[in-house]
Structure 1
Amino acid sequence: MTESNISFLGRLSLAFGTFFAVLGDREYAARVHRLRDGAEVSAPVTAPQPAATAAPTIKAASPEAALQLLGLLQRDARFVDFVEEDIANYSDADIGAAARLVHDGCRATLREHFTIRPVREELEGSRVTLTDGFDATAIRLTGNVVGKPPFNGSISHRGWRVEEVRLPMLTKTHDATVIAPAEVEL
């Protein structure tokens, strides 16, 4: 799979990784912000020069924000309960009813803690022209991708971009690995 043809799950993994890297690293977040605002727009990319190109620094992302989001999805939507449940013996109607509840809870959680907007404002199916210098981190070309821009095509998915994050503050003693406490009824 080429870098410009990342699968949906690959994009999802990249999105979550980038999301949590932005949350955990102020400098990285500032670079992403400058890139989104066009401040770091550079000349067209040429072949890398081995001596001049430094290897990227790989840094472990802090899992606390991911665990916090997972805890919120569990609290408000019973997300982990739903995913961990063996649904093989349930009817499609039962699964659909449960999925509706999980969907409503997940949607409410995302809307409470994130401002999410489409990457592209045009409706899906709209014809667009992508000129040279389009943001390849925000737009993925699919289908018969050959040649150089301008590219003409149809929007098959508008994409999503997080504009604001509003996760609650945590105390130092909070154990983020407990995404849902065990319940004991007395």
Structure 2
Amino acid sequence: MTESNLSFFGRLSLAVGTFFAVVGDREFASQLHRLRDGAAVTAPPPVATPAPPVATPTIKEASPESALQLLGLLQRGARFVDFVEEDIAGYSDADIGAAARLVHEGCRSTLREHFTIRPVREEAEGSRVTLADGFDATAIRLTGNVVGKPPFNGNISHRGWRVEEVRLPMLTKTHDATVIAQAEVEL
């Protein structure tokens, strides 16, 4: 697919990636702002001292089929989409709580059936930890007053989650993953 003819999911992926790039990179946000105003975007001036080589992350387009499949599994096992799409403003807290308990039980069962999920950190939340230089920044996010260089000392506010195994069902080539729940017609 050419860059000028991106699919809906390709455009959605680009939009989400661009959002996070704008939030995280002030210069990129400035260039994007100038581009939207119709100005030519120029390359930033060259840096006087060359930076050490850094591995450039490769960006790959995520396939929506697995996400749609998971959404379908959560719908089948927990009526997740039905619950989220329901206008709950007219229901009592007790009714919502009862429905949420059923949805929670179904979602938990579905996740455990199709995934092995383990905590990123084994320590209890609230535990004091030291993060040495070279800690895995893809698995640990620093929050609060982040200054200086490792080692960092802090408290675990969330242990994080890591998927160790995925057990999604195989799909036929004719399966339409966008249909996450079939319409039902009672005869």
Fold conserved between structures, TM > 0.5: yes
Amino acid at match of 1:110: L
Residue of structure 2 equivalent to 1:9: none
Unaligned runs of 5+ in 2: 1-15, 18-49
Indicate the SS of the match to 1:108.
helix
* CA distance in 1: counterparts of 2:142 and 2:88, whole angstroms: 36
Residue of structure 2 equivalent to 1:119: 120
1:96-116 deviation per Cα after TM superposition (whole angstroms, max 9, x unaligned): 000000000000000000000
1:175 and 2:176 equivalent?
A: yes
1:153-180 deviation per Cα after TM superposition (whole angstroms, max 9, x unaligned): 1100000000000000001111111100
Residue of structure 2 equivalent to 1:43: none
Greater Rg by CA: 2
Residue of structure 2 equivalent to 1:146: 147
Map 1:13-24; keep pairs closer than 5 Å: none
* CA distance in 1: counterparts of 2:56 and 2:134, whole angstroms: 24
Deviation for aligned residue 1:58: 3.6
Residue of structure 1 equivalent to 2:163: 162
1:97 and 2:98 equivalent?
A: yes
* CA distance in 1: counterparts of 2:91 and 2:112, whole angstroms: 30
* CA distance in 1: counterparts of 2:149 and 2:59, whole angstroms: 31
* CA distance in 1: counterparts of 2:58 and 2:140, whole angstroms: 25
* CA distance in 2: counterparts of 1:48 and 1:81, whole angstroms: 52
Indicate the SS of the match to 2:82.
helix
Amino acid at match of 1:130: L
CA RMSD of aligned residues (A): 2.0
* CA distance in 1: counterparts of 2:108 and 2:168, whole angstroms: 15
Deviation for aligned residue 1:149: 0.9
Indicate the SS of the match to 1:95.
helix
Map 1:1-186; keep pairs closer than 5 Å: 48=51, 57-186=58-187
* CA distance in 2: counterparts of 1:127 and 1:65, whole angstroms: 37
* CA distance in 1: counterparts of 2:63 and 2:132, whole angstroms: 37
Deviation for aligned residue 1:55: 6.4
Distance change in 2, residues 1:94/1:132 (3 Å): same
* CA distance in 2: counterparts of 1:166 and 1:172, whole angstroms: 18
Deviation for aligned residue 1:59: 3.1
* CA distance in 2: counterparts of 1:127 and 1:53, whole angstroms: 31
Amino acid at match of 1:137: T
* CA distance in 2: counterparts of 1:160 and 1:168, whole angstroms: 22
Aligned-pair identity in percent equals 87
* CA distance in 1: counterparts of 2:62 and 2:126, whole angstroms: 37
Amino acid at match of 1:139: I
